[in-house]
Chain A
């Protein structure tokens, strides 16, 4: 197993790590297989056009270095984006931004993406 320098940087000093109090959306996912748990918190705002955007995003992860690195990277990629843009972030985008992830660890990035989908969905249900 070889992690990239980029991934290890995120693992060691994760970006956007923590909770958001009174979050507008929360998504929690778990990986039954290896026991990983991820939670994403969203604060939603508007852009100039009046679309919903991710104004702030924070994460909590119990898992391997790749899971922590992937959630940290995803929060970087998603911050400031509209929902559509954020939902378009793929597993491959996360992997690429991290400079590569060992194949056996790709599922950790998929999990991060799932957590984001759930968080956005939770916001939408609350506000519909």
Chain B
């Protein structure tokens, strides 16, 4: 191999993992990392200028979700938002020693599933996991049947991060509304948490339309900085804090506010709101990918995020595909068993019932704001070469 003659690409197709900070976001943040360093909790002018910036960002986030500013709580990211939503509801509900029941799906992000497992292991709650169909969409009839008298929380993601399948959130809303109506106004509240991390860039996130009582958002998936996120908490929803300290964020999420991060998140979400409809990049890529033999597209193709393609190649292993493309300067991700710490295929692919020979060669291509049409051709060429090479190596 003549290394000098190889042209390195610089193609980033892993926008579901994280996104590049938008230059406009960075520009807005910089003053708050320099001279505007005040603590938004301070009474003096330094503090008050920081507080004004936080308030402005809070308005922008609230505006995006169609909520009140006081319903937005800033966190360190969606992992914390999910933890706070679930544990906050549970800790509050079990205060009197009641045994409560919570429901989620089998394809949630670990930031939901691991909280459920922790609560279950420590005997703090009863749990149920709704299954999905072969397209990675939750089975609504199962959800309906699993709701019990003591169910206090249902947590369902808006769109899945691996296969991009959009979940029937409005139908969940209807089911939960009916249960709440039957329980009556004085009955046990049944809250609905939506992990909207992957949906924010593409789908309507109005909390009333969704029927969400709690909704998680992450900065670094929407061209904002890492380490900042938010949780929407509907007025009247009672959450117990999971960290204890000062009085920030209505005592629900204490700790000095990440002012530069919050400013960045505000601008990031404003830019998302202004963005025009989805690009045609996905269609172009899908059309090209169809020319490769022995492939299978995963996910709900009728109702999939416009930036995610999940595809399996027979007789080529996912991590090898990833590594080989990486050597060409192309970034994608994989859910194959070889790439996971447990040597099991991704829990999402498994829940969808995808056969091992297909999950073995699965990759995710996730597009973003800074991808261009010019990348399609070199990507497809590199991918075809990679698949051909790996298939030739296979027995």
Residues of A in contact, count (CB < 8 Å): 26
Which of B1, B319, B341 interacts with A64 by CB under 8 Å?
B319
Which A residue's beta carbon lies closest to that of B322?
Answer: A65
Which of B319, B341, B395 interacts with A37 by CB under 8 Å?
B395
User: With a CB–CB cut-off of 8 A, which chain B residues contact A112?
Assistant: none
Kindly state the separation between the CA atoms of A33 and B338 in the bound complex, as whole angstroms: 9
Given contacts A62-B315, A64-B338, is CB(A28)–CB(B1) below 8 Å? no
- Residues A61 and B338 in contact, CB atoms below 8 Å apart: no
Given contacts A35-B337, A37-B395, is CB(A63)–CB(B327) below 8 Å? no
Q: How many interface contacts (CB-CB < 8 Å) are there between A and B?
A: 68
> B323 in the interface, Cβ–Cβ < 8 Å?
yes
- Distance from A103 Cβ to chain B, minimum over Cβ atoms (Å): 11
Size bin of chain B's contact surface: 20 to 34
Given contacts A34-B337, A63-B338, A104-B341, is CB(A39)–CB(B395) below 8 Å? yes
Which A residue's beta carbon lies closest to that of B340?
Answer: A34
- Distance from A119 Cβ to chain B, minimum over Cβ atoms (Å): 13
- Residues A37 and B337 in contact, CB atoms below 8 Å apart: no
- Residues B320 and A68 in contact, CB atoms below 8 Å apart: yes
- Residues B320 and A63 in contact, CB atoms below 8 Å apart: yes
User: With a CB–CB cut-off of 8 A, which chain B residues contact A13?
Assistant: 1
Main secondary structure of the interface of A (DSSP, over half): mixed
Which of A12, A61, A65 interacts with B395 by CB under 8 Å?
A61
> A60 in the interface, Cβ–Cβ < 8 Å?
yes
User: With a CB–CB cut-off of 8 A, which chain B residues contact A17?
Assistant: 393
- Residues A11 and B341 in contact, CB atoms below 8 Å apart: no
Which A8-47 residues sit within 8 Å CB-CB of chain B? Answer: 8, 11-14, 17, 28, 33-39
- Residues A62 and B395 in contact, CB atoms below 8 Å apart: yes
Given contacts A39-B395, A61-B394, is CB(A33)–CB(B343) below 8 Å? yes
Lowest 3 CB-CB distances: which A-B pairs, in order?
A: A64-B338, A62-B394, A34-B337
Can you name 13 A-B residue pairings with CB atoms under 8 Å?
Answer: A3-B323, A11-B320, A12-B1, A12-B324, A13-B1, A35-B360, A61-B393, A61-B394, A62-B395, A63-B338, A64-B317, A64-B320, A65-B323
Interface residues of B (CB under 8 A from A): 1, 315-317, 319-320, 323-324, 327, 336-339, 341, 343-344, 356-357, 360, 390, 393-395
Interface residues of A (CB under 8 A from B): 1, 3, 8, 11-14, 17, 28, 33-39, 60-65, 67-68, 104, 107
